[in-house]
Amino acid sequence: MFLVAVGMLTAIATLGWSSDRALRQLEAESARQRAALSAFIASDIDDRLARVFGVLQGLATEARTPLTDGTPIPERALQLAALDAEVLDAVFILDSGGAVIAHEPAAAAPPGLPLLREPLHRVLGAGVPDIATFTESPEAHVILLLVPVRDWSQRVAGAAGGTIDPAGRYFGQFAKAALNPAMGAVSLLDAEGHVVAASDSAPHSPHATRHPTARDAVASLRLAPWRVVIGAGAGIGRVAFLRTLSWLAPTLVAASLLFAWGAGRSVARPLKVLTAAAERIAWGDLRVAIPPLGRDEVGRLGTAFERMRRALAASLEKVAATNAMLETRVAERTRELAAANAALQEREVVRQQLLRKVIFAQEDERKRLARELHDDTAQMLTALGVRLDLAAEAPPATRDRELREARTIAKRSLDELRRLMHDLRPSVLDDLGLVPALQWYAERHLKAQGIDVRFDVAPLPARLPVELETALFRAVQEALVNVARHAHADTVVVEIGRRGDRLRLDIEDDGTGFEVAEVAPKPGDMRGLGLMGMRERIELFGGSVEIHSSPGRGTHVAITVPLPETPAPAGPALDATD
């Protein structure tokens, strides 16, 4: 109950704080809008007064000649001035003494001289337009506008003026943008604070005054000593909101406490039953069933708890059976791991044998190269030296013949050295790439034995990385060497193509074939080490080697490697001397 009360009070406090903050923001925004609206209305009234002064100034221009030579003023000019101004109730012309020379309409008499004396004196004395308000009757104000009329020598000879009734239907257009009661009443005040006009329809006494407060929006006019005042309006006040919150909060807290008390009592009894059942299950007693506890949330919890008890009992039985089965599987997996470990150790022995074979092959190759260099190249170089000595001691008649013999021996030595270099690593692999190197090797080693070799090559990247080309060349070389030594084949087909993002090389012959399982590397048996070397070279680049063969059906070797994302740069160009 304490937590419910704290939660409710926290929620009410949070709601009150956020609402008070929102009300403050609304009041600030309302103040900004009222300030903008008052400035707009003041600007609108200034624009309209400027238009009226413009119309009166035009009338003053029309009245210049009649005031100086005494001719009648055209009634048409007065009528047009009244129509153009729209808001003027009366238009008239005064001479320098304040006498009315002409006015329009004829039925509307202009104000008397006592009312015109002070504003007329200002216009005649200063020679500038003037605006004033006066009380024509006990019920309403009258707005008076005067502009000076100058003769041809720019001397003030009279005044052109007009009157506006603030309560009239035309003057209501001044405040037409503010007829929204929610924004507050709009009032037009003169210099003494008298209400000249207001946006509401109620009549105002000419002697009524208003003093703007700090919450009112005030904007001054430029053409008259007047102010536009917009009140604060009738929005929702923060005081009223806090007063409502002061009695609403205790009521909500009391209701929530009553609800918490009832809910606590209804939940406590079935929870005690569930607690006792949970303690029995925790001690491992799954025999006692949980009784029904109703159809509410706690009752559904008890039903779920009972299902859990039955499922747990059944699960314990399954766990016992599963443990027995797992023990059997663990024993089987242990045997499998022991067999895999034995196979791994066997492969490691085979790998060591392969390494020894590679080392022995390197030493044999070195011996062969040393023997060939001793038997062929060294003897040829010795013979070349003897020939050069004979040429140096021979008479001029036989010297040319000795030099030709020496050149022949030198050329044979150079050919032999090139053969040895090509046997070590064919330069065509570095210069032209994988496919030309394979074609060169096949023509040199297979066609010499009468084996027909055909190549089927699909478009490939310009060059592959050097390491990948070398690995592929050695793998295909091993396959071709096996064909030459063991297959007794008549035809060999080499297909090179692209399968998506992988490169595939297929070497197929029509030879005698063999049982693939019989040549698998075994400890103490050197057979199949060449095929194992092929696989290990290709597996270094993420590829695979598949061998399919059977006696009498030939052999098919498939090599697949992933292509690099970017092609390698092209190899060096061939020199003309090569």
Determine the longest span between alpha carbons in the chain, in angstroms: 160
Question: Under a CB-based contact definition with an 8 Å cutoff, are residues 356 and 374 in contact?
Answer: no
Going along the chain from its start, the domains and CATH numbers come out as 2-230 (3.30.450.220), 428-562 (3.30.565.10)
Q: Which two tokens stand for residue 197?
A: 């006009």
SS3 for 200-241, per residue?
A: CCCCCCCCCECCCCCCCEEEECCCCCCEEEECCCCCCCHHHH
For the record, the structure tokens of 275 come out as: 């607690």
Q: What pLDDT tens digit does each residue of the chain (578 aa) get?
A: 788 778 888 888 888 788 778 878 887 887 888 888 888 888 888 888 888 888 888 888 877 777 777 777 777 777 777 777 677 778 888 887 777 888 787 656 666 666 677 888 888 888 888 888 776 555 567 788 888 888 777 888 888 888 887 766 655 555 454 445 455 678 788 777 777 777 665 445 555 677 777 778 888 888 888 888 887 755 546 666 777 777 877 888 888 888 878 777 777 777 888 888 888 888 877 778 878 877 777 778 888 878 888 888 888 888 888 888 888 889 888 888 888 888 787 777 766 666 666 556 555 556 666 666 655 666 667 766 766 777 777 777 777 777 777 777 777 767 666 666 656 666 677 777 888 888 888 888 788 788 888 999 888 766 788 888 888 888 888 888 888 888 888 899 999 988 888 899 999 998 888 887 776 655 555 455 677 778 888 888 888 999 888 888 889 999 999 988 765 554 443 333 33
CA nearest to 504, candidates 515, 493, 492, 496: 496
Q: Interior CA angle at 502 toward 496 and 508, to 5°? A: 35
* Under 8 Å between Cβ of 354 and 520: no
Decide: 535 and 559 in contact? Cβ < 8 Å. Answer: no
What are residue 163's DSSP bridge partners?
Answer: 90, 144
Q: Give the global pTM.
A: 0.41
Burial of 479 (0-12, 13-18, 19+ CB in 10 A): buried
- pLDDT attached to residue 192: 76
Answer yes or no: are the C-beta atoms of 157 and 149 closer than 8 Å: yes
Radius of gyration of the chain (CA): 59
Q: Which residues, including other chains, have CB under 8 Å from residue 512's CB and lie 6 or more apart?
A: 486, 487, 488, 489, 551, 552, 554
